[in-house]
Amino acid sequence: MPDRALPASFGEALAAARGRIPASEARLFLREVSGASAAQIAAWPERTLSAEQAARFADLLARRVAGEPVAYLLGVREFYGRDFQVGPAVLIPRPETELIVDLVLARVVPGAAPAILDLGTGSGALAVTLALERPAATVTAVDFSPAALAIARANAAALGASVRCVESDWFAALDAGERFDFIVSNPPYIVDGDPHLSQGDVRFEPASALASGPAGLDDIRRIVAAAAAFLLPGGWLMLEHGYDQAEAVRGLLRGAGFGEVASERDLAGIERVTCGRRP
């Protein structure tokens, strides 16, 4: 807010944000800078802000107006009921990815201690959630980005999850003899140059976590081609993909010899995750 005085109170801060960002976001920023509760923010407009709090609020507001994602500005995003630390080195976890968690949990037989691999873990959302939901599981998370792995490790530590984090370009750094019961991934799957990449939050996210070749399928092809060798017999491969890719991904899985190939719909009714089983 270069031309404006810094807001001196909660009410002034909310007024400064009005018409520029949604009120719900302005209240989140006010909580972040002041430590006040949602109820205090709603009921106490005259509460004063210190100069430092006001300056932080003005900075968050200006950056949000410029398009930076709320999750990066606050450094946190909820996934499967837990808060994950996030930053520009990782994709912001999305609600539709929770479908993969549900699909794995539904297939883990009671008492089992499955070996689970999360490819391209980013913030660690899938790996950490699965480790916490099934504490008997052995969970490995790989990412080719050291900056992403640092965030995944921090999330595992903060949430008390035991996850082995490996820097690896898909399967490249894993031992050839490793075998898993589940391989899950939310890989990049957007078509290179898709207009979606230059809109909204996505502009600030790592391109390497989003785009994947002329059909968006380059990374999915690589994963499908190599996955069976790292699965135990009866093990599952589960891949998130784009809204119009389910048929293509089913074809890739069948072509690689997977059985029980089926796509599952997310809460928006879109075929979002395709699963196949190693015979």
- Residues forming contacts to ligand GLN in the complex (CB under 6 A) are 94, 186-190, 202, 210
Helix count (H) and strand count (E) of the chain? 10, 9
For the CB of residue 210, give the shortest distance to ligand GLN in the complex, in Å: 5
With respect to ligand GLN, which residue has the nearer C-beta, 7 or 120?
120
Query: CB of 188: closest distance to ligand GLN in angstroms?
Result: 5
3-state secondary structure 114-153: CEEEEECCCCCHHHHHHHHHCCCCEEEEEECCHHHHHHHH
Nearer Cβ to ligand GLN (32/194) = 194
Query: CB of residue 147 vs ligand GLN: minimum separation in angstroms?
Result: 17
Backbone torsions φ then ψ of 248, nearest 5 degrees = -65, -40
The token duo for 78 is: 């909820």
| Closest distance to ligand GLN from the beta carbon of 193 (Å) | 14
- Shortest spacing between CB 189 and ligand GLN, in angstroms: 5
Q: Which two tokens stand for residue 1?
A: 């807010």
Angstrom CA distances, 72 to 91, 147, 164, 201, stand at 10, 15, 25, 9
- The nearer residue to ligand GLN, 272 or 278, going by C-beta atoms, is 272
CA 182 to CA 268: how far, in whole Å?
25
With respect to ligand GLN, which residue has the nearer C-beta, 114 or 120? 120
Are 143 and 152 a contacting pair, CB within 8 Å?
A: yes
Nearer to ligand GLN, 34 or 121 (CB): 121
Pick between residue 64 and residue 272 the one whose CB is nearest to ligand GLN: 272
Q: 5 and 11 in contact (C-beta within 8 Å)?
A: no
- Closest contact distance (angstroms) between CB of 222 and ligand GLN is 14
- Bridge-based pairing state of the strands 76-79 and 82-85: antiparallel
Decide: 275 and 262 in contact? Cβ < 8 Å: yes
Q: Which is nearer to ligand GLN, 132 or 202 (CB)?
A: 202
Contact 115, 181 (CB under 8 A): yes
In whole angstroms, give the CA distance from residue 202 to residue 180: 32
Our CB check for ligand GLN shows the closer of 6 and 91 to be 91
- The DSSP 8-state label assigned to residue 7 in this structure reads P
